Amino acid sequence: MTLKKDNKPITLILGTTVYRQRGLFGRDTCVIQATCTEWEGKNLVVKISWPSTSRKSEKMLLDIAIAKANEMAKPGETHWVLNHLPNILHEQDFKFDDDDSVQELIAEMINGGQYVGGRDGAYEGRVLRITVLEELSPITSLHNDRDYAQVFVDILQCHKWLYEHPKILHRDISMANIIYRMDEEGNVLGVLIDFDLSSLIPINEATSLRRTGTPPYMALDLLKEVNDSGPHLYRHDLEALFYVMLMICCRHSIIKNSQDGTSQLKESSAHFSQWFDRTMSWSVLAKVKTSFFMDDGPLPVSPCFEGFRHCLSAIHRNFSRGIAARKDAKDQPGAASWKAIPLPADISVDRRVLPPQQIPLSKPFDNVTLGGHVGYTQFLSVMWTFKETELAIRLKDLTPATNS
């Protein structure tokens, strides 16, 4: 593959395909290992994708984040968050917008079509984008549970920093988008990748016509019909991170005596397999996830990940309470929460069985945090330690007002 960098050709030798997303619509991302004399000695991957022309590029967003990190860094020091972001070496776009291009012909067919339910067709313009990155390690190649715990809390902190400082919301957290690198001392550092679907906050740019995310990891709100799903919130990304933790800890086991460079995980359980059923509609998957949160039974944590049970159960409980509180607020219009009105003392009734009359409080329900149940603070409070020992916490500059 030949690209141009600084108006000079660079040749990449492609190797093994690491990841491939198949589909007629969407980004259809393909990631391939590569080498190039331009970056001698570096292990590379080339990402080939078709993102929407309405979105800012991954490199553009990361350049904003890196500039903010450099601005915030102490003199002579490197900001901690840079260890948790991907290293994009080159990015190049190829447009296919001629009148007789395949894209234009498909757009004409879709936009002029008639669809079930009377819906109008809408085709997104897309660009072929080739990105060269430093190759890092997939989360599935970690050897022990504590390293997984450190990566999870690293992603939580990196994601929050991006949201608070350069004002970037990731919007596509999944198992494939969480990887890691090792520092010079051999410490594992979680890295959040793939910012193709990310947006600057507030979102005032033209957004994709398709909802963003990977269905098994998407927040249940976002799986509902477009008119009912609402905006993509910070807590929706927290929910996606919870699902990543859940899928690793409940569906997998760590392989003993496995070879380096291979996956250290094996699928050991069929739990949550329904979430990966591509024939299931998103609205049905939303109902499945709602039922999961309403189930108060023990989580099916794999024995080798038993150390995560308390953390996962606490997060599950917070979501359950928040979803229940939201339902109560919706069931009683105009009320966010309720308080009982005591009966007059001269009314003779069995007060032990009488349901109280209720009136609404004036404060509206906070859907952003599900009534204060789901936010960064709630996650960090159960993730900052593992098996009674502290993990590395690097984000220490948040004020209480931003702990949402």
CA-based angle 261:262:268, to the nearest 5?
155
Q: What is the DSSP letter of 95?
A: -
- What's the pLDDT tens digit per position in 195-217? 999 999 987 654 555 556 789 99
- pLDDT recorded at residue 400: 39
Contacts of 25 by beta carbon, 8 Å cutoff, 6+ apart: 210
- 232 and 373 part of one domain: yes
Residues 21, 82 share a domain: no
How many Cβ atoms sit within 10 Å of the Cβ of residue 74?
A: 7
Look at residue 69 and tell me whether its pLDDT is greater than 80. Answer: yes
| 14 in a structural domain | yes
257, pLDDT greater than 90: no
Q: How many CB atoms lie within 10 A of CB 239?
A: 22
Domain that holds residue 184: 72-86+136-402
77 and 118 inside one domain: no
**38 & 76 share domain:** no
The span from the CA of 380 to the CA of 166, in Å, is 21
Per-residue pLDDT band at 338 (split at 50, 70, 90): low
CA atoms of 116 and 186, how far apart (whole Å)? 56
Indicate whether 77 and 214 sit together in one domain. yes
| End-to-end Cα distance, the chain | 45
3-state secondary structure of 168: strand
Q: Tell me: do 187 and 315 sit in the same domain.
A: yes
φ, ψ for residue 138, nearest 5 deg: -70, 150
In this structure, is residue 64 part of a structural domain?
A: no
- Residue 278 and residue 297 share a domain: yes
DSSP per residue, 281-321: -HHHHHHHHHHHHH--SPP---GGGGGGHHHHHHHHHHHHH
- Separation CA 310–CA 301 (nearest Å): 10
DSSP string for 6-29 = TTEEEE-EEEEEEEE---SSS---
pLDDT at 403 over 50: no
CB-count exposure of residue 70 (10 Å: 0-12, 13-18, 19+): exposed
The answer to whether residue 128 is domain-embedded is yes
Q: Are residues 147 and 270 in the same domain?
A: yes
pLDDT of residue 206: 44
Residues 219 and 360 placed together within one structural domain of the fold: yes
**In which band, very low, low, confident or very high, does the pLDDT at 401 lie, cut at 50, 70 and 90?**
very low
Which tens digit of pLDDT belongs to each residue from 50-68? 888 888 999 999 999 999 9
Domain boundary among 98, 119, 135: 135
C-alpha 143/C-alpha 242 separation (Å) is 20
In a domain, 57, yes or no: no
63 domain-assigned: no
Q: What is the Cα–Cα distance from 12 to 195, expressed in whole angstroms? A: 23
State the pLDDT at residue 402. 44
Q: Quick one: 146 and 23 in the same domain?
A: no
Domain annotation covers residue 60: no
Instruction: Tell me the average pLDDT of the chain.
Output: 86
Q: Residues 346-356: pLDDT tens digits?
A: 666 555 555 55
Asked if residue 336 belongs to a domain, the reply is yes
Check which CATH number belongs to the domain holding 367 and give it.
Answer: 1.10.510.10
Question: What's the pLDDT at 85?
Answer: 99
Q: Please indicate, yes or no, whether residues 305 and 160 belong to a single structural domain of this protein.
A: yes
286 and 230 in a common domain:
yes
pLDDT single digits (tens) 269-323: 899 999 999 899 999 999 999 999 999 999 999 999 999 999 999 999 999 999 9
Q: Mean pLDDT across the stretch 111-116? A: 59
Q: Which residue's entry shows tokens 């709602």?
A: 290
Count of domains observed in the chain = 2
| Alpha-carbon distances, residue 302 vs 69, 245, 320, 340, 387 (angstroms) | 38, 12, 22, 43, 16
How high is the pLDDT of residue 329? 87
Q: What percent of the chain has pLDDT over 70?
A: 78
pTM for this predicted structure: 0.86
Mean pLDDT of 65-73: 97
Given a cut of 70, is residue 116 above it in pLDDT? no
- Is 56 inside a domain boundary? no
Q: What is the pLDDT of residue 53?
A: 84
